[in-house]
Chains A and B, each alone.
Chain A
Amino acid sequence: MIVFDKVSKTYGNGVRGLNNISLKIDDGEFVAVIGLSGAGKSTLLRSVNRLIDITDGDIRVNDVSVTKAGKRELRHIRRHIGMISQQFNLVKRSTVQKNVLSGRLGYYSTIRSILGIFSKEDYERVNEALDTVGLNDRLHNRCDELSGGQQQRVSIARTLVQQADIILADEPVASLDPVTTKTIMETLKNINQTMQKTVLINIHSVELARQFSTRILALKEGEVVFDGRPAELTDDRLIQIYGKTF
């Protein structure tokens, strides 16, 4: 469960990224966050695992305050929150296996991870995760040999071996073609339904949001202007919120 309690974020230059947001996301939800560019979608997402420090309020993940967590505690919380992004964030020169395995880093001591001593179970987890995303034949390929869609699936596999219960996805399909977009969205949906992982996804396309999510959050200038089931977000409602520009 993710709880936002009167959360605000003011950037150093005075821009208000989030403005007094309160909301609760239950386990197993598939929440799509929509909004124009600059609405605060990334800020919202990245504050969940504190890649961004909020300036006001409190964020709690599974009843533990992310905002007040110390360094060590924060690392523990982050183990349970996977993140995928538009740029995939893979080490391109490393193999698929190495990239996926890095999802386990939070569980290992510094020495063991430097020496690369990983348990048999973790290698097994990597194989399972790659099975799930359909890339088990690419274990030893370097990531820069893969297409964009395949790279995004590697990064999803990384969140799987991480055994995260929450997956944050910041525009994961923004740089992909329509066909690849569909497989990635289906993979996320599949993970959400079969493994009960909470998915919080920023997405440009209202169509995709309606098609895959169980709940849509619409942001505008750092505020939540719509929060409801996809069916409730009619075209009329959209125009009401954003004007004709969306």
Chain B
Amino acid sequence: MKLKDTVHFQWYKTLFIVCILLVCIGSAVHVTEADFVEVFSNVDQMTSFMSRFLKPDFTYILKIWEPMLLTIKMSVTGTVLGVAFAVPFAFLATTIVTKNRIVTMVIRFFLDIIRTIPNLLLAALLVAIVGIGEFTGVLTIAVFTFGMVSQLIYEAIETIDYGPIEAAESIGANKIQTAVWSVLPQVLNQIASYTLYALEVNVRASTVLGYVGAGGIGVILNSSLALLRYDRVSVVILMILIVVVIVDGLSEAIRRRLS
């Protein structure tokens, strides 16, 4: 059997891709000055880290459950705020109710920009503007949620049944009435589901917001790392892990019920 009769008949393409990957990895190593020898010669540092990391200081839980709760509160508040603003903007982002292409274009452009800002950058920006604290965390989460959920909602709005809209118009309803009575009930379940999904993402993301001073458990994680208290770091990470798993599980269970 010849090679060209097998699934590898395009072997030269594969070879080409492998070469390119090798060049990429090689240049990346060169540019970042990564040194694999150093990685392995530092093994004792690793073991000293691991030895402390694996002996978690569980009494520390008493100190961190409050910031953890704060993080959850921040996520919930931020998510709710974000969704509350996302809903009216999502309506403006489709022509279905407004019948105005220009409004739709402007709003979508605005939403696109919001979405392109990375979470941590947003937090850093807001820390610079508003200052350090939980409120900044809430704002960051709200803006992030707003960007993410508004797109999901306007895409949902675009798939609805248009019949009720025509019915509302023929009754003499105005645009806001049409939006609230004919469109909203059709996407309400999806909005609830996206809200829960956003909450999942936000609980995970908000744990690192403390890094830039936006409050919550992230602050504790950051300072424990800085103080080389790996016995505390592991407790914090464990705590975050448990909370994330619980929130994900709850949210998924509710979302399954909704659909």
1/0 per position for B139-182, CB-CB distance to A under 8 A? 00000000000000000000001011011111111101100111
User: What sequence of 0s and 1s flags, for each residue 58-83 of chain A, a beta carbon within 8 Å of any chain B beta carbon?
Assistant: 00000000000000001111110111
> Interface digits, A169-204 against B, CB 8 Å rule (1 contact, 0 not)?
000000000000000000000000000000000000
The reply to whether the CB of B26 lies closer than 8 angstroms to some CB of chain A is no
Q: Does B186 contact A (CB under 8 A)?
A: yes
- CB neighbours of B188 from chain A (8 A): 93
Task: With CB as the reference atom, state the residue of chain A lying closest to B183.
Answer: A91
Bound form: Cα–Cα A108–B181 in Å: 13
Contact present for B176 and A114 (CB under 8 Å): yes
The 0/1 profile, CB within 8 Å of B marked 1, for residues 124-153 of chain A is 000000000000000000000000000000
Do the beta carbons of A106 and B171 come within 8 Å of each other?
yes
A89 CB-CB contact with B under 8 Å = yes
Decide: A88 near B163, CB < 8 A? Known: A93-B185, A105-B181. Answer: yes
CA distance A85 to B171 in the complex (A): 13
Cβ–Cβ contact B170 & A155, under 8 A: no
Q: Tell me whether A89 and B167 are in contact in the complex, defined as CB-CB below 8 angstroms, given that A94-B185, A105-B181, A113-B181 are known contacts.
A: yes
Rounded to whole angstroms, the CA-CA distance of A103 and B188 in the bound complex is 21
Instruction: Return the CB mask of A84-111 against B: 1 if under 8 Å, else 0.
Output: 0101111111100010001101101010
The contact size tier of chain B is 20 to 34
CA distance A230 to B163 in the complex (A): 32
Residues of A within 8 A of B182 (CB): 91, 102
Interchain CB contact under 8 A, B170 and A83: yes
**Does B185 contact A91, Cβ atoms closer than 8 Å?**
yes
Which chain B positions have C-beta within 8 A of A113?
173, 177, 180-181
The CA of A195 and the CA of B37, in the complex, are separated in Å by 93
Contact A110 B163 (CB under 8 A): no
Interface contact A79-B172, CB-CB below 8 Å? yes
The listed residue (B168, B174, B176) touching A102 by CB distance below 8 A is B168
A213 at the binding interface (Cβ < 8 Å): no
Residue from the set B161, B169, B171, B173 with the largest chain A CB neighbour count within 10 Å: B171
Provide the main secondary structure of the chain B interface: helix
Instruction: Assess whether A158 is interfacial by the CB under 8 Å rule.
Output: yes
Q: A91-B186, A155-B167 are in contact. Are A106 and B173 (CB under 8 A)?
A: yes
Chain A residues with Cβ below 8 Å from B170 are 49, 51, 78, 81-83, 168
B166, B173, B180: the one contacting A89 at CB < 8 Å is B166
Q: Does A43 contact B (CB under 8 A)?
A: no
> In the complex, what distance in Å separates the CA atom of A72 from the CA atom of B240?
56
Q: Which A residues touch B172, using CB under 8 A?
A: 74-79, 105-106
A126 CB to closest chain B CB (Å) equals: 14
Q: Which residues of A contact B177 (CB under 8 A)?
A: 105, 108, 110, 113-114
A168 to B164, CA, bound (A): 16
Contact call B163/A90, Cβ cutoff below 8 A: yes
CA distance A36 to B2 in the complex (A): 65
What chain B residues lie within 8 Å of A90 (beta carbons)? 163-164, 167
A81 vs B181: C-alpha distance when bound (angstroms)? 19
Q: Is A102 within 8 A of B163, CB to CB? A: no
Quick one: which of B163, B167, B186, B189 has the most chain A CB within 10 A? B167
Query: Judging by beta carbons under 8 Å apart, are B163 and A85 in contact?
Result: yes
- B231: min CB distance to chain A, Å: 53
Q: Is A162 an interface residue (CB 8 A)?
A: yes
Complex alpha-carbon distance, A45 and B185, angstroms: 28
13 more contacts with CB within 8 A, not counting A83-B167, A93-B189, A162-B171, are: A76-B172, A78-B172, A79-B171, A83-B171, A91-B181, A93-B188, A98-B185, A105-B173, A105-B181, A108-B177, A113-B173, A114-B177, A158-B167
8 closest residue pairs by CB, A with B: A106-B172, A89-B163, A78-B172, A89-B167, A105-B173, A79-B172, A83-B170, A75-B172
17 pairs from A and B in contact (CB 8 Å cutoff): A74-B172, A75-B173, A78-B172, A79-B171, A83-B166, A85-B163, A89-B164, A89-B166, A90-B163, A94-B185, A98-B181, A98-B185, A102-B181, A106-B171, A106-B173, A113-B173, A168-B170
